[in-house]
Amino acid sequence: MLWACLHFSTLPLSAVFGELAASSQPCALYEGPRQRPLIFQANAAALAQGAKPGLTVAAARALCAKLDLRRREPDAERHGLQLLATWAYHYSAQVSLAEPDSLYLEVGASLTLFKGWPQLCSRLQQELQLLGYAGHRLGVAPVAAAARVLALNHDRIALRRLPMMLQALDPIPLHSCGLPATAAAQLQGMGFRRLGELWRLPRQELARRIGPENLLWLDQLRGIAAEMLPLYQPPDSFGRRIELDGLIESWQALLFPLRRLVRELGLFLQVRDSGVQTFELRLEHEDHATTRVPVNLSSVQREADALYEFCRGRLERVAIPAPVSAIALVAAGLAPFRPGHRDLFEPARCQGLDWPDLTERLRSRLGDEALRGLACVADHRPERAWRFTAVDTATTKPAATRSPSATKSTAKTRNTQDSKPVWPGAKRSSAETHAAAARLRSAQVPNAARPLWLLARPIPLRQPLAQILAGPERIETGWWDGDDARRDYYIVRCANGQRAWAYLPAGEDSGWMLHGWFA
């Protein structure tokens, strides 16, 4: 096995300031009693101006007038380390937390997949820089404890064999070998300075001087004693809360912490190979109940950029009742993510959106009720054969060109060979009208064809008819609900060349009613 240790010395800064920790803006954390808080950690810009750890807050402000001071947040540090452990699942199934600021991952089984350690190391560093954790140290060794000690003393060191590891551990000073400060000070008082000097001592004498627990630690460094590392398991749900520095009254100022929350959610979903369809934004107030902003998507998503746009659209429409003191994002239920299939030779689109993405964008900007879908209803009456529905995964696909009214009729039509034109103005009986229509139906027009444009309700047909193309198609239903319909539908061509869908009352030869137009 080959263990890599990632040591994040600036984890407290990154957990509170995020990307600002590596910027030119002076930033520092303080802790201690309210009466006399002390600087705990500062970034490079603050250190250059004299704001060093151990100074009082008043002295640090006197040295650096533009210093951004915030209180240390241990909870945010633990969450940041867990987020890094979740990210490490990209590269290893064996990840362990070394609190408060380190992380172990077994990389021996991943070297073949990533084409060797140099390529894997480069990829780790690039992704950590994108995550905002550029200030880290890295050590690799066959023993996890030795990898951490090497990372603290020799950055970017990788030793794959045990003899080389022991040779590198020999000159490590005692104060940075992982022993407790009291044990290290006691050994230094006896004249010992380096790890190699301890390993040449008799074990019984060494155990009597530093205790069996510290001797076990030294044995683990050398690989003599087995290590028991608790493996980290990503949780089944995502929850992240950011406490704001001040009270925020506008939604625009919430976009920066919102982007950070959504980015962490996207990373969590990628590692879990899952997606999210329902989650919630929570805006906390000091003197008001928490404002909850539910985000319900019509399809499973996991891309951070898309999730951010959906959250932003809903946040724009929220009336914030009171200044916001904290913002949280909670995703309790994770759904399996199935990426959409693409054509190998799919043409490139400049700025187009897929239909589900466009649907979600419109819903987030206009509201859930502003976008509706169509669904078929089991009714033969065309005006009742469809209804509006809420947009979901079944309705976020482009509808076919066929109208929702394309249902089966209750009567069959007869086919004939004759295609002689019929002129509706001619005088003939009702039986002759229906018989002629059956004979003159065109073979190219299917009997079940429905118009692209279906009128909301039938209206009298005012245009003169030139030809009957198909029909009749009997629809006779609705006797049970008081809206009885007995109609004979025809596909006709008007005098201006338009094709219409019209009907006559059953058994009648006059009173044409228009119900739709064909394209």
Residues 468 and 328 both lie in one domain: no
Residues 269 and 159 both lie in one domain: no
Residues 154 and 8 both lie in one domain: yes
Q: Which residue has the higher pLDDT, 282 or 378?
A: 282
Q: Which residue has the higher pLDDT, 356 or 502?
A: 502
Q: What is the CATH number of the domain that holds 79?
A: 3.30.70.270
Contacts made by residues 133-138, CB under 8 angstroms, sequence distance 24+: 133/8, 133/10, 133/11, 133/14, 133/84, 134/22, 135/8, 135/9, 135/10, 135/14, 135/21, 135/22, 136/6, 136/7, 136/8, 136/9, 136/10, 137/6, 137/7, 137/9, 138/4, 138/5, 138/6, 138/7
Average pLDDT over the chain, rounded to an integer: 80
pLDDT (0 to 100) of residue 349:
56
**Which residues, in sequence order, are bridge partners of residue 331?**
238
- Tokens representing 29? 């954390």
Mean pLDDT for 5-25 is 86
Residues 63 and 145 both lie in one domain: yes
Query: 274-293 pLDDT, tens per residue?
Result: 888 888 999 999 888 999 98
Q: What is the CATH number of the domain that holds 249?
A: 3.30.1490.100
Domain membership of residue 402 (yes or no) is no
% of the chain with per-residue pLDDT over 90: 14
- Tokens representing 355? 């239909």
Examine the fold and report which residue of 336, 351, 380 is the final residue of a domain before the chain moves on: 336
Task: Supply angle C-alpha 492, 495, 496, rounded to 5.
Answer: 105
pLDDT (0 to 100) of residue 419:
35
> In this model, does residue 191 exceed pLDDT 60?
yes
Q: Which residue has the higher pLDDT, 161 or 415?
A: 161
Query: 163-190 pLDDT, tens per residue?
Result: 899 999 989 988 888 888 888 888 888 8
Domain membership of residue 8 (yes or no) is yes
Residues 8 and 130 both lie in one domain: yes
> In this model, does residue 77 exceed pLDDT 60?
yes
Residues 164 and 251 both lie in one domain: no
> In this model, does residue 447 exceed pLDDT 80?
no
Among candidate residues 469, 473, 472, the one with its CA nearest the CA of residue 410: 473
Residues 267 and 148 both lie in one domain: no
Mean pLDDT for 337-344 is 66
The per-residue DSSP string of 321-337 comes to -S-EEEEEEEE---EE-
Residues 11 and 153 both lie in one domain: yes
Domain membership of residue 254 (yes or no) is yes
pLDDT band at 27 (very low <50, low <70, confident <90, very high): very high
Q: Which residue has the higher pLDDT, 11 or 410?
A: 11
Is pTM beyond 0.75? Reply is no
- With b for 16 or more beta-carbon neighbours within 10 A and e for fewer, the 232-241 pattern comes to bebeeebebb
Structure-token match 């608790």, residue found: 230
pLDDT band at 343 (very low <50, low <70, confident <90, very high): low
Domain membership of residue 454 (yes or no) is yes
Domain membership of residue 92 (yes or no) is yes
% of the chain with per-residue pLDDT over 70: 84
> In this model, does residue 434 exceed pLDDT 70?
no
Please give the Cα distance from 472 to 503 (Å, whole number). Answer: 8
Q: What is the dihedral of CA 86, 91, 96, 100, to 10 degrees?
A: -60
Domain membership of residue 186 (yes or no) is no
Residues 151 and 264 both lie in one domain: no
pLDDT band at 329 (very low <50, low <70, confident <90, very high): very high
**Which residues, in sequence order, are bridge partners of residue 376?**
386
Q: Which residue has the higher pLDDT, 416 or 191?
A: 191
pLDDT (0 to 100) of residue 53:
92
Number of separate domains in the chain: 3
Residues 8 and 91 both lie in one domain: yes
Mean pLDDT for 399-422 is 37
Spatial CB neighbours of 131, under 8 Å, sequence gap ≥ 6 = 84, 87, 267
Examine the fold and report which residue of 280, 314, 336 is the final residue of a domain before the chain moves on: 336
> In this model, does residue 126 exceed pLDDT 70?
yes
Least-confidence region, from 40-49, 216-225, 310-319, 397-406:
397-406
Domain membership of residue 502 (yes or no) is yes
pLDDT (0 to 100) of residue 93:
84
The Cα-based distances of 433 to 169, 423, 495 in angstroms read 104, 10, 19
The Cα-based distances of 270 to 39, 333, 414, 472 in angstroms read 37, 15, 59, 58
Domain membership of residue 261 (yes or no) is yes
Residues 165 and 262 both lie in one domain: no
Domain interval for residue 499: 430-517
Residues 312 and 457 both lie in one domain: no
8 A C-beta contact, residue 322 and residue 288? yes
Please give the Cα distance from 228 to 306 (Å, whole number). Answer: 41
Examine the fold and report which residue of 317, 336, 355 is the final residue of a domain before the chain moves on: 336
